[in-house]
Structure 1
Amino acid sequence: MFSRDKSSDQEIQGVVIPRAEHGISRDDISDNALKVLYRLNKAGFQAYLVGGCVRDLMLGLHPKDFDVVTDATPEQIKGLFRNCRLIGRRFRLAHIVFGREIIEVATFRGHHADGGNEDPDGNDKKALGKQDEHGQLLRDNVFGSIEEDAERRDFTFNAMYYSVADFAVTDFANGIDAIQKREVRLIGDPETRYREDPVRMLRAVRFAVKLNMTISKPTATPIKSLAHLLGNIPAARLFEETLKLFLSGQGEATFLMLREYGLLTPLFPQLESLIRDENSREMQFIRAVLRNTDDRINNDQRVTPAFLYAALLWYPLEEQSQKLQAESGLNAHDALNIAMGEVISRQTKHIMIPKRFSTVMRDIWILQQRLPKRFGRRAFQLLTHPKFRAGYDFLAVRGQIEGGEVLELADWWTQFQQADNGKQKQMLKTLRQREGGDKPKPRRRRRKSPNKQADHD
C-alpha cells in the first residue's frame, strides 16, 4: 500500500511563510470559502485553503475554485453545515453549497499502512484504502495529519496551505521554489505516484501549459512508459479530464504537449496513425479547430465539446466510411451512418461521450454530406436545420485545411447566408446552370384504368 518513498531525497517539511511575505489577501478569496474556514476554526478544527487556489493566488492569478482541507471528518463537516452534501466513494468529500458556488472540503489524507492498521480514529486502514495490481488507488479514505496530507498531494506547488487563523502559508514541499523556477514537480517517486493515479500524467501536462511552466526531468521521464495506464481509468472520468485539457483556452498547446509525451494514443487510439506527421491534413485540421476553440473561450464565447469531438474523430470517420463503401458496396449515406456508430463506439471504450454530445456530433457529420446538396428547396431547408451553424463552421475549417471543392463549398454557404432572398435565388439559379441542372423531374400523372373510368361513369 501507499507510503512515502523512503529513498526519496525530497523530505516533506512545513515552512511557514508569514502574511508579510506571501502577498495573499482575503479580498482575493471567496467570501463563502472564508465562511467555511472560520466556522471550522470556531468549532475547534484546523482548516486551510489548499492546492490550486493557493498556488494561483501566489502567482497573482484569480482562482476559479477554492478548496478547503481540515482535520474534521466528513460526518463532522456535515454536522456543521446544513447546506452540505457528502459525495464520492474513492475520495469521500464534503460539498458545501452556496447557490452556484460549491466549496469542496476534504479531510486530511493519511498513509494506508504506515505504522499500523488503524487510523487516528480507530478505523481499519485496509477497509478504508484499496489499490489494484498496478498500484492504482481504488479507494482512499484513510485520514491522517496535515503533514501526511501534504505528502499525499500530487505536485509540490499544490502542497501549500493558507490559514485564516494567522494568515500564514505553510509550504510543505518547497512549492515556492517550483513556482519561482516555473517547474511542475511531483512529490515523491514519480513512477509510484503515476501508478497510484495515472491521471496525474494528464494533470502534469495541463499545469505546464496553463502556468507556462516546464515539467521537471524526474517528473517527465516515466510518462511515456506509463501512458498505457490511462487505459485503467474509467471512461467517464477521462471525459471530465479531457474537458479540462481542451476547453481551458489553451487546447492547442495542450494537444501538442500530450502528443509529445505519448498521452494521446491511450485517449484517442483512432488518431494514432493520422497525427504522426506534423504537416498532415489531419494534424492541421485538429490544430485549427483547437485554435478556433481557444479563441472563442478567451473571448467569452460559447463552445461545445460535441464540436471538438466531431473534429477529433472526423478523419477516422471518413476513413471508415470509405472503407465500408469499398468493401461492402454501400452507398455513401448508409456507409456514413454505419461508420458513425462504429467510430463513436470505439472511442467510448476509452472516453465516455454523453449522448447529448454524441447526438450533436452525428448532426455535424451528417451535415457535411448534406451541405453539398443545394438545389431546389434544399438550401433553404438546410438553413433552418437546428445544427446548421455548427455544421457550417465545421465545413469552414475543413475548407481552410483541405482547399479545393470543400473551400469553394464553404465560401458559397458563407455568401448564401448573408444574401437577401432575391440574391439567394439567383445564386441557386447560377449554380444549377453551372452544374448542369439537377432539376427535379416532373411528376408522372397516373393514367386511370378503363375499369375505374367505367365505374365512375
Structure 2
Amino acid sequence: MPQTGGDASRPLIVARENHPISRANISPNALKVMYRLKEAGYQAFLVGGAVRDLLLGLSPKDFDVATNAHPDQVKQLFRNCRLIGRRFHLAHVRFGYEIIEVATFRAAHTPIDEDNSVDEGGHRVLDDRGRILRDNLYGTIEEDVWRRDFTANALYYNIEDFSVWDYVGGVADAQAKVLRLIGDPETRYREDPVRMLRAIRFAAKLEFQIHADTAAPISKLAWMLDGVPPARLFDEVNKLFLSGSAASAFDLLIRYGLLEHLFPDVTQALNESPDGVAAQLVRLGLAGTDERVRADKSVTPTFLFALLLWPAISRAYQRLNPQPGSEFQQMTLACEQATARQQARVAVPKRFTLPMREIISMQPRFNMRSGRRALRLLDHPRFRAAYDFLLLRVAAGDADPELGDWWTEIQSLPAEERIARVEQRPAGAVQGEAPRSGNRRRRRRRRHPAVSNP
C-alpha cells in the first residue's frame, strides 16, 4: 500500500486505489451519516476498529464516525439523534436497531473532568447546569489521533475522497498484526490502567502480537488495576471473555500477571494446581464460550462467572467439608463466600450472581437420582444451564461420566419411562458425591460440550 504524507502533524494518506476498503462493506447507515455531514460542510471520517478490520478483510460489527462538527450541530442534522455523556457529548444516530456513534474531534488534553468546571487557566467551561461555555473539549483531527490508544485503532477513512489517513503508522502495524501503543507505553498505562486489559483483548481478538515496548511495562504496572473501580472492571471482563477469544485472553492474562488482580482467589487455586480439574473446567468452558460466539449464539455473564469462579467455589466447598444431606446448603454457602470476596475486585451485579448461584448450587442435586423428587430438577428454570455445567465438570474429570450420561438419557425418555427409571433406582444411591478436589488430574479427555446460558 503506497502512502504519501508529510511530517508528524500531517497524515500519511493511502489513496483509494491503494487500499482494499470498499463502501460496499461499510454500513449503509454509516455512509448516510458521513455523506450528510460532508454535504453540510463538515469533515467526516469512519474511524477506529472499523477501519482496521476493513483493511484486514474482516467484517466490523460497529461503525463509528469522527467529525469536526460539534454535538449540537450533529443533532441539528439528524432528527433520529440523541446526545449522551456528561463530560464529553457523543451523538448517537439511530437507524432501527443500529446506532452510529458520532464523536467530535477531541483536544489533545481535555482540562475538565466530572468534578471540575474550570480549565487550566481558571476559566469556567461549564455553567451550573453543565452546559459547555467554552469549547476547549474539542480539537482537530491532528489532536484527536493522540487521544486514541493503539496505532491500528487510530486510522481514519475519509468520505471526501475515500482515502485512509494515518498519523501514527497504524496501517503498517495492522498489516504486520502488531499491537503498539501510541506514545510512551508506561505513561499511557498510568493514565488509564485499563489500557493493559485492552491490550490483552485486542491481541487475543485480532491474533496480534503485542509489541515489545507495549508489553514491557504490563507486569510492572499490573498492580494499578487494584485501584480501578470494580464496576468498570466488570465491563472490561465481559469484553475480554464474551467476544469470541476468551481462551486466548485467559492465557494472556496469566502470562502478563493480570489475572491475579482480577480474580485473586481463582489465581491462587490455579497456581496450586495448574493442571487440575478446576483449571481444566475453566479452559474447556471458555473454549465452549468462544464456539458459541463464533456460531452467533447467545452468551451471558451468568455462565461466564460460574466458570471463572468455579476454582474458588470448589476450594471453598471442600474446606466446608459437607456431610451427607448438607451438600446443597454448603455449595450455596461456598458460592456466596467466593462471590462476596470477588466483588471487591470485579463487581458482578445481582442479576447475574443470583442465577449463577442457582447453577452452582444445583450441582450436588444431580447426584440424587432415586425417587420422583429427582425428576423435579428437570423443571427447574436453570436446569439447562446447570446441566451444561455438569457436562463441563464431566469433561474436566470433576464428575463421574456415568452421572452425565444418566441425565442426558433421562431427558430423552417419555414421562412414564422417566418415572420407572427413578423408582427402580435404590433409595440413597450416590446421594451426595462432592465435586472432586482441584488437585486431582482428570482421567480421560472428552470433547467439551457446547456451553449454554441461563
TM exceeding 0.5: yes
Report SS of the residue matched to 2:426: helix
- Return the offset for 1:351: 1.9
In structure 1, distance between residues paired with 2:431 and 2:245 = 47
- Partner residue, 1:446: none
- Partner residue, 2:46: 49
Q: Structure 1 stretch 203-212 or stretch 73-82: which is displaced more? A: 73-82
Q: Does 1:190 align with 2:190?
A: no
Report SS of the residue matched to 1:339: helix
What is the number of residues matched between the two proteins?
A: 411
- Partner residue, 2:429: 435
Picking from 277, 280, 287, the partner of 2:276 is 280
Picking from 236, 245, 262, the partner of 2:240 is 245
If you compute each CA radius of gyration, which structure gives the higher value, 1 or 2?
Answer: 1
Quickly say closer, same or farther: Cα 1:349–1:432, change in 2 above 3 A: same
- Partner residue, 1:85: 82
Aligned residues of 2:279 and 2:311 also touching (Cα < 8 A)? no
In structure 1, distance between residues paired with 2:123 and 2:21 = 36
- Partner residue, 2:392: 397
- Partner residue, 1:346: 341
Q: Does 1:406 align with 2:403?
A: no
Q: Give structure 2 stretches of 5+ with no counterpart.
A: 1-6, 113-117, 126-134, 433-454
- Partner residue, 1:420: 414
- Within-5 A mapping of 1:49-448: 49-112=46-109, 124=119, 142-276=137-271, 277-325=273-321, 331-402=326-397, 406-432=400-426, 435=429
Task: Specify the code of the residue in structure 1 equivalent to 2:360.
Answer: W
Q: Does 1:19 align with 2:16?
A: yes
In structure 1, distance between residues paired with 2:205 and 2:431 = 54
Aligned residues of 1:66 and 1:104 also touching (Cα < 8 A)? yes
- Partner residue, 1:444: none
Aligned residues of 1:173 and 1:187 also touching (Cα < 8 A)? yes
In structure 1, distance between residues paired with 2:30 and 2:421 = 59
Structure 1 residue ranges (4+ consecutive) displaced by more than 6 angstroms after TM superposition: 126-130
Quickly say closer, same or farther: Cα 1:263–1:423, change in 2 above 3 A: same
- Return the offset for 1:248: 1.6
Q: Structure 1 stretch 50-59 or stretch 27-36: which is displaced more? A: 27-36
- Return the offset for 1:383: 0.8
Identical columns (%) = 48
Q: Give structure 1 stretches of 5+ with no counterpart.
A: 1-9, 118-122, 131-139, 439-457
In structure 1, distance between residues paired with 2:289 and 2:40 = 46
Quickly say closer, same or farther: Cα 1:190–1:128, change in 2 above 3 A: farther
- Partner residue, 1:4: none
Quickly say closer, same or farther: Cα 1:250–1:370, change in 2 above 3 A: same
- Return the offset for 1:35: 1.4
Quickly say closer, same or farther: Cα 1:234–1:81, change in 2 above 3 A: farther
Q: Structure 1 stretch 425-434 or stretch 286-295: which is displaced more? A: 425-434
RMSD: 2.9
- Return the offset for 1:424: 2.5
Q: Structure 1 stretch 93-102 or stretch 369-378: which is displaced more? A: 369-378
In structure 1, distance between residues paired with 2:9 and 2:53 = 21
Quickly say closer, same or farther: Cα 1:51–1:141, change in 2 above 3 A: farther
In structure 1, distance between residues paired with 2:85 and 2:320 = 43
Alpha-carbon deviations, 1:357-400, whole Å to 9, x = none?
A: 21210110111122212221122211111111111110111011
Alpha-carbon deviations, 1:122-162, whole Å to 9, x = none?
A: x83578999xxxxxxxxx98321111111221111111111
